[in-house]
Amino acid sequence: MNLVFFLLIAAATLVAALAELNGGHDAMENLSNAALKAAEGAVPLALGLIGVMALFLGLMKVAEEAGLVRATARLLAPLMRRLFPQVPAAHPAMGAMIMNVAANLLGLGNAATPFGIRAMEHLERLNRHKGFASDAQALFLALNTASVTILPTSVIALRAATGSTNPSAVIAPTLAATLISAVVAVLAARLLAPLFPLPAPAIDANDDTAANDNDEESGEPLPPPPPWAPWLALAFLVAIIPVMAFQGAALGHWIVPALLVGLLGYGLIRQVRIYECFVDGAREGFSIAVRIIPYLVAILVAIAMLRQSGALDLILGPLARFTAPWGIPAEALTMAGMRSLSGSGSFGLLASYMNDPAIGPDSPSGILLGTIYGSSETTFYVIAVYFGAVGIRRMRHALAAGLIADVAGLLAAVAACALLIS
């Protein structure tokens, strides 16, 4: 991350300096203002996450105490064991990762972040190389950048707000694109891991990290689920896809209330003291939000400088001339590049495209742009938040795997829209 951080800032400064020397008035002043404004904005952004983190970490705590996380982990244990062989099957990290995947599946980006941070914390307790991303952490982050999505809630809402006659038209291509990018993310993380070897772990007699596989947190081995359970879960997943495709815009607003009632009600049935348990889990939201502020400052300043200097346009402009004949217009490249860098920036860009009479929400380009947004993630932001929350400084192959998944998501979105949208 050290080299990436430097290159982003150095490239932005060089482009702005050249613009200033070639008559571009106030280029360096605007660059300085963008950097300072981004640094100031990192703190409100982190503080704004406190409420959301507190809400969903509280729900996560209730789900853990009620045994729901363990039951879900048991259902998906065969798949998760293959993806994460380094993590004990009954470890809390499994449940947290599953909750994160489920939140992404339903397009609940704000809910996915607290679950993802909780998963990273549990994975860090299994990590024998403090400060270095483990293979499991790198793979989990890559899966987050490729997050399989059934219901791209924010895109559907924006399309409805801009007058789309079919706001849910992006559901099918988004699901197809994210399935492909998820497979690519797994393959990239697995193939790149040997190229970034971990150092020998330091031996510390007082460090019990190496014993985590056998401690009480790892739990007893999960019994296999009933043979019919995975098939029932698969049938439910297949059945919900057409429902979301036709009623996604209306059902999207029901997800969070249903999640609240469902998790708290399940905890109540299992005789969990849900109020005290919720408060105990929510208390961690504040400390996590404060802990990630320095990492947010670093990445947001670098991204703001890159955007303000015009360096991003210099990179994507020539590339767009090459990709246009292949069905990837300049707007798609710009959206994909911005999406990897900034969530708010890419959403604002998508909104401007949806409101542009030349594009609009229901044109092939409009549907493609919505699919690209819904089938990718803010890779740099996710790295800053997830790794920053647990003090990871050496990300190894995590960024490369995430960016490869982003490229795969872009290509898959183009192919899916060409095949599924007439």
Structure confidence at residue 215 as a pLDDT band (50, 70, 90)? very low
pLDDT digits (tens, 9 = 90+) for 285-317: 677 667 777 877 887 788 788 878 888 778 777
Q: Supply the pLDDT for residue 202.
A: 52
Please determine, for residue 226, whether its predicted confidence score (pLDDT) is greater than 70.
Answer: no
Q: For residue 397, what pLDDT band results from cuts at 50, 70 and 90? A: very high
Domain ranges for the chain, please list them: 2-197+209-420
Percent of the chain with pLDDT over 90: 14
Q: How many CB atoms lie within 10 A of CB 239?
A: 9
Q: Which pLDDT tens digit goes with each residue over 256-272?
A: 688 789 889 988 998 88
* SS3 of the chain: helix, strand, coil, percent, to 5: 80, 0, 20
* Choice between 233 and 26, residue whose per-residue pLDDT is larger: 26
- Which of 94-98, 174-178, 200-204 is most confident? 174-178
* DSSP string over 74-132: HHHHHHHHHH-TTS-TTSHHHHHHHHHHHHHHTT-HHHHHHHHHHHHHHHHHH-SSTTB
Chain centroid, CA 123 distance in Å: 17
pLDDT grade, residue 209 (50/70/90)?
A: very low
Residue bearing the bigger pLDDT, 384 or 154 = 384
Mean pLDDT taken over the chain = 79
Pull the structure tokens for residue 146. 């490729």
Tell which wins on pLDDT, 50 or 280: 280
Q: 181 falls in which pLDDT band (50, 70, 90)?
A: very high
Per-residue pLDDT tens over the stretch 316-366:
777 777 777 777 888 888 888 888 877 767 877 788 788 888 888 889 889
Q: Report whether 267 contacts 274 (CB < 8 A).
A: yes
> Which of 79-88, 113-122, 236-245 is the least confident region?
236-245
Give the pLDDT of residue 253.
64
Model pLDDT, residue 206: 47
Cβ atoms of 420 and 171 within 8 Å: the answer is no
Q: How far is CA 172 from CA 165, 168, 199, 302, 362, in A?
A: 16, 8, 43, 34, 15
Q: Is the pLDDT of residue 204 over 60?
A: no
Nearest to 402 by CA among 390, 385, 416, 418: 385
Q: Which of residues 196 and 54 earns the better pLDDT score?
A: 196
Q: What percent of the chain has pLDDT over 70?
A: 80
Q: Which residue has the higher pLDDT, 30 or 103?
A: 30
The pLDDT score that the predictor gives to residue 205 is 41
Find the Cα–Cα–Cα–Cα dihedral 354, 371, 377, 307, rounded to 10°.
-40
Give the pLDDT band of residue 134 (cuts 50, 70, 90). very high
**pLDDT, mean of residues 392-409:** 90
pLDDT, residue 196, reads 92
Q: What pLDDT does 293 receive?
A: 77
pLDDT tens-digit map of 11-64: 889 999 998 888 777 889 989 998 898 888 877 767 766 776 677 778 878 877
